[in-house]
Amino acid sequence: MDINPIVLSIPVFFGLILIELIADLITGKRSYRLGDAYGNISCGIFEQTTGVLAKIFTVGIYTWVYQFRIFDIERTWIYAVVLFIAVDFLYYWAHRISHETNLLWLGHVVHHQSEDYNLSVALRQGAVQKVFTSPFYLPLALLGFAPDWFLYILAWNTLYQFWIHTEKIGKLGPLEWILNTPSHHRVHHGRNPKYIDKNHAATLIVWDRLFGTFQAEEERPTYGITKPVNSFNPIVAHLKPFSDLGKELKGLNTKESIQLLFAPPGWRPQRLGGREYAPEITEAKKYNPVLSWPITLITLLQFVVVLGFVAFFLFSVNQLSTAQVLTGIGTIILTVFALGMKANGQTPNLLLEAGMIASITTWWLLVDIPLAAYSFGILLLILSALSRLYKEPLTTKNAA
């Protein structure tokens, strides 16, 4: 099986993020914070690595339904164009319903948690989102669109959305009428009441214009969600929505619990006051733990080392055994959780940090690359020791 185009594009993603960072330095407009960027990228890492297992369901169900296709369609350029438009149309509805239904919002909310808006936010994806939205595309399988073509078109549909996660590009004139643009997508990420649940398109903004969910960008959006996650840890980012929904379910009867799952976020029974809508924004403060520069530098270096490990895993996953894949996924989850604690200004338990180093070393040995095992292990060990040496009390500030 060929490597996912999204994985192949990873070097391009980081190259463009670097360009955006340089633009920040030149213009003096700061759009990145280290902790938030870590949270964004590590959520993407978590989604891509666990996606290796999720595709057993998402790709498997599409392939199974394709056996019962109604038509055998000739694969021409017309086939590709029709499939592209159909994927874009179904993405709009999958995305829209993910915003309008609590159950599906669990998978998508992770993408909206960042309080910044830059290219790293495009990498912030929910690990269970594809599981929830994959059934929306099954009509394409029944119509006779082959799984390999569908997967590539869907991947390119996703890739298009990378560049629209930026504040560096203004409005684009007549293109704003047809395409989803950075301006339109900034609205989508705003938590201002007028911007919530607007502009769900992937590539073609015409769907929002046709179905009444379009909103032009007016004042600058305030980014994030109405109930901030207040953590840069990717595992916390994924678990907190489930915890929040669990709290909302307490005290509800069976009928109300089912209603809550399929109701829009903020829904409550009338006996409890009815639906809560997004409040007007009076003061926008961002979660912003402030770390000393040595801790910041050490954590950044640790993350760079881990990125090397993750890149190798994703690019070689199709050649790995089941044991190597499962061990690799477990190692990555453990590692991003430990580094997420550091990004929050917390010191990981010594056992947790030792487990992170040991698991990375063990994985390299499993794939029979001892030099990498000892190099990665020793480097992480030194950086972890330094982070404990420079340990100091955390002060938390809120950024405007």
Residue with tokens 């477990």: 330
Query: What pLDDT sits at residue 272?
Result: 87
- pLDDT(394) > 60: no
Q: What is the mean pLDDT of residues 103-126?
A: 97
- pLDDT(393) > 50: no
Residue 281 pLDDT grade (very low, low, confident, very high; cuts 50, 70, 90) = confident
The DSSP 8-state label assigned to residue 190 in this structure reads: B
Number of Cβ within 10 Å of residue 351's Cβ equals: 8
Give residue-wise pLDDT tens across range 33-83: 999 999 999 999 999 999 999 988 999 999 999 999 999 999 999 999 999
Q: Which residues contact 297 (CB under 8 A, 6 or more apart)?
A: none
Give residue-wise pLDDT tens across range 268-278: 998 888 888 88
Q: Which residues contact 68 (CB under 8 A, 6 or more apart)?
A: 142
Give residue-wise pLDDT tens across range 184-202: 999 999 999 999 999 999 9
Helix-helix angle 370-389:350-366, to 10 degrees: 170
- pLDDT(379) > 70: yes
Q: What is the mean pLDDT of residues 22-37?
A: 91
φ/ψ bin of 308: left (φ > 0), alpha (ψ from -120 to 50), beta (otherwise): alpha
As a whole number, the mean pLDDT across the chain is: 93
Query: By three-state DSSP, how is residue 205 classified?
Result: coil
| Burial environment of residue 376 by CB neighbours within 10 A (0 to 12, 13 to 18, 19 or more) | buried
55 vs 136: which has the higher pLDDT: 136
End-to-end CA distance of the chain: 47
- pLDDT(284) > 80: no
Instruction: Of 115, 124, 125, give the one whose Cα is nearest residue 17.
Output: 124
Instruction: Of 21, 45, 17, 30, give the one whose Cα is nearest residue 286.
Output: 30
Cα–Cα distance for residue pair 47/58, rounded to 1 Å: 13
- Phi, psi for 221 (deg, rounded to 5): -65, 150
Residue 1 pLDDT grade (very low, low, confident, very high; cuts 50, 70, 90) = very low
Quick one: tokens of 290? 């402030």
Q: What is the mean pLDDT of residues 339-358?
A: 92
Residues above pLDDT 90, as percent of the chain: 83
The bridge status of strand 286-290 relative to strand 395-399 is: antiparallel
Prediction pTM value: 0.93
Contact between residue 117 and residue 31 where contact means Cβ atoms under 8 Å apart: yes
Residues above pLDDT 70, as percent of the chain: 97
